[in-house]
Amino acid sequence: MLRRNIRLRREYLYRKSLEGKARILYEKKLKIKEIKEEGKQVPTELRNEEAALRHEIDLEDESTAVPRSHIDDEYANSAEKDPRIMITTSRNPSAPLKQFAQELSLVFPNSLRTNRGGQVISEMIESCRRRGFTDVILVHEHRGVPDGLIISHLPYGPTAYFQLLNVVTRHDIKDKKTMGTMPQAYPHLILNNFTSKVGERAANILKHLFPSPKPETKRIITFANESDYISFRHHIYERQAGPKSVELKEIGPRFELRLFQIKLGTVDQSEAEIEWVIRPYMNTSKKRKFLGD
């Protein structure tokens, strides 16, 4: 099993190394297409390759015209099976952290909360691979307050590291009268203001934690980005007497996430390449935003 995982990881890194060449070839084909449509002369640097490029363009269809990326490989099977998530905590979790992890297991469909115990990260990730889990979520705390969330996609990655802020559990929501029971239906997702490349990447990681819902589902989960702070809200809606009257009920929990690193690998791979990380100098400008407008 270990040799197989090493081989699969090498194949993934090799495919990723080819992305740069594929992108250059794709841009050359685009130039040839533009020249063909506009009736212009072929640039000198493309004259030797023109015939081969035109031949490749003629053989392409919709599925092969655009080059695939490592992101396509990471979630290539997402449409074939629903995600299956393992949720766990840091060692010796406090009672509030256990409660929050339990509530997360109700938020994410097809998830299982387990006690970390003395298990090291590498053993846990290997166990999850064998058991067919698609993602691992680790929740960390500081002095009893949840302060970190790690989402690691299996088997290759990526892994996203979030700071966790302003956690309010279901039982701590002030207006408990509006809080309904926790439904088990797959939720509709609202992903708001993830407009940059990093934002699209973060949204892609978050949305693949949820299976496709049925149209009649009344459960809604929202990830709303505002100044790089992602607000998580969980509601159900009920139709009122009017034809267009809808009442939202918050069922919790609620919290904020702040992305600070994305790694091209699983959480146990310290040598994995860092795709994006926030740096100290990035915080100098309050107007600088990374996830969206």
119 in the same domain as 230: yes
245 in the same domain as 100: yes
96 in the same domain as 59: no
The secondary structure of residue 47, as a DSSP letter, is T
161 in the same domain as 214: yes
218 in the same domain as 90: yes
Domain termination residue (choose one: 68, 93, 122): 68
Distance in angstroms (rounded) separating the CA atoms of residues 208 and 75: 8
Nearest CA-CA partner of 233 in 198, 202, 190: 190
Both tokens of 146, joined, read 């949840």
- From its phi and psi, is residue 89 left (phi > 0), alpha (psi between -120 and 50) or beta? beta
Query: Which CATH number do you get for residue 265?
Result: 3.40.50.10480
95 falls within a domain: yes
78 falls within a domain: no
What CA dihedral angle connects 33, 36, 38 and 44, to 10 degrees?
90
292, HSE (Cβ side, Cα atoms, 13 Å): 19
140 in the same domain as 259: yes
At 2 the pLDDT is: 64
Other C-beta atoms closer than 10 Å to the C-beta of 271 total 5
168 falls within a domain: yes
Please, is 147 exposed, middle or buried when counting C-beta atoms within 10 Å of its C-beta (0-12, 13-18, 19+)? middle
Distance in angstroms (rounded) separating the CA atoms of residues 162 and 261: 7
77 falls within a domain: no
> Which range marks the domain in which residue 39 is found?
1-68
pTM: 0.77
* Dihedral sign from CA coordinates of 82, 152, 154, 100: negative
244 in the same domain as 104: yes
122 in the same domain as 31: no
Other C-beta atoms closer than 10 Å to the C-beta of 13 total 15
47 in the same domain as 176: no
64 in the same domain as 96: no
Length of the chain: 293
112, HSE (Cβ side, Cα atoms, 13 Å): 12
123 in the same domain as 19: no
Could you give the number of structural domains in the chain? 2
pLDDT of the chain, 293 residues: tens digit per residue: 566 666 666 666 666 666 667 667 777 777 777 877 777 777 877 777 877 877 777 766 655 555 555 555 678 777 788 999 999 998 889 999 999 999 999 999 999 999 888 889 999 999 999 999 999 999 999 988 999 999 999 988 899 999 999 999 988 876 655 455 678 899 999 999 999 989 999 999 999 999 999 988 999 999 999 989 999 999 988 877 666 777 888 888 999 999 999 998 899 988 888 999 987 665 555 556 788 87
51 in the same domain as 12: yes
At 174 the pLDDT is: 66
Please enumerate in sequence order all residues whose Cβ is within 8 A of that of 171, keeping only pairs 6 or more positions apart, or say none. Answer: 99
76 falls within a domain: no
